Amino acid sequence: MRRPPTRPAALLAATLLAFGALASGCRPSADDASAGDAAARDTAAPAAAAPAAGYSLYDLPSVWRDQRGDTLRLPALAGKVRVLAMVYTSCQATCPLIVADLKRVERSLPADRRSDVGFVLVSLDPARDTPGRLAEWAEQTQLDPARWTLLSGDDEAVRELAATLDVRYQAQPDGELAHTNALTVLDATGAVAHRQLGLGDTRATVRATRALLR
């Protein structure tokens, strides 16, 4: 597999930070009638343009553990299309909606091509989201381990990846995290092909994912 030339992680982060996303709390605001209402409002957010070709998320040097407890680096994800989001398992509102959007993308794929796409959830709360907790949550949310990879890293790794993807997050006094709601489509080399900002409308994400399978 031919990978794009390696670029410093800091340069990659600086490029992606040009595409801003508004951070929103994990729980809907007080005037939300329901989490579904929050998702509907988020739908209006436009998808961010992908950065210039030649940059790979897999250039980042961070080390992670997956839901099986195995240690891996991001280049281990290379070789197939990936759709990635950053969430945390104790989130009760927008994170389940993010997972629902990812499942919608998964269902939209031709049955004979679903194995060619992997789905990656990276925890924003590594202190609580241990590999054991990720495995339990994956089972509860019915994520097929053949296609879904859940990752937990140290705080530095999470901050670096979040900055690279322009996922903004901040701890709240009640223990929740305010965070950007975004889906990122990566090609087989780790280059960002598409970003969905906001929730509820996955049509552009589906198109971008399908296009990479041609």
Q: Is 20 left (phi over 0), alpha (psi -120 to 50) or beta?
A: beta
pLDDT of residue 188: 97
pLDDT at 71: 98
What's the pLDDT at 20?
37
Residue 81 and residue 41: Cα distance in Å, rounded? 28
How far CA 82 is from CA of 42, 70, 132, 137, 204, in Å, comes to: 23, 19, 23, 20, 15
- Give the pTM: 0.79
What pLDDT is stored for residue 41 in this prediction? 34
Q: Where are the domains of the chain?
A: 9-212
Please state which CATH number belongs to domain 9-212.
3.40.30.10
Q: What are the 10-residue block averages of pLDDT along the chain, 214 residues in total? A: 43 39 45 34 39 78 97 98 97 94 97 97 96 98 97 97 95 91 98 96 97 95
